[in-house]
Amino acid sequence: MRERGKVHLNMIVTKTGDQGQTYLNDGSRVSKASARIKALALLERISVKLGFFIHECDQDQIRLQLPNAQECQIDLAQLANSFQQEMYDLGSDLCTPFKPGESLTRFPAEKVEELTALISELTPALEPLDSFILPQGSLRVLLSHEIRTIVRQAEIQVWEIAEEINPAVPQYLNRLSDFWFVFGRILQSEENPGGEIRKWEPNLKHARGVQIQSAK
75: in domain: yes
42: in domain: yes
Q: What is the pLDDT of residue 8?
A: 58
131: in domain: yes
Taking only the tens of pLDDT, the chain with its 216 residues reads: 334 456 655 555 465 555 677 877 777 888 888 999 999 999 999 999 999 999 999 788 999 988 888 899 999 999 999 999 999 999 999 998 888 777 778 999 999 999 999 999 999 998 888 888 888 889 999 999 999 999 999 999 999 999 999 999 999 999 999 999 999 999 998 887 766 788 888 888 888 888 888 887
Domain count, the chain: 1
Q: Are the CB atoms for 85 and 54 separated by under 8 Å?
A: no
Cα(159)–Cα(161) distance, integer angstroms: 5
Q: Which domain holds residue 41?
A: 33-97+106-191
pTM for the model: 0.85
84: in domain: yes
Q: Tell me the sheet residues that pair with 31.
A: 21
210: in domain: no
User: If phi over 0 gives left and psi between -120 and 50 gives alpha, with beta otherwise, what is residue 20?
Assistant: left
CA distances to 27, 60, 93, 119, 159 from 5, rounded to whole Å, are 15, 30, 10, 28, 24
53: in domain: yes
153: in domain: yes
181: in domain: yes
Domain holding 176: CATH number?
1.20.1200.10
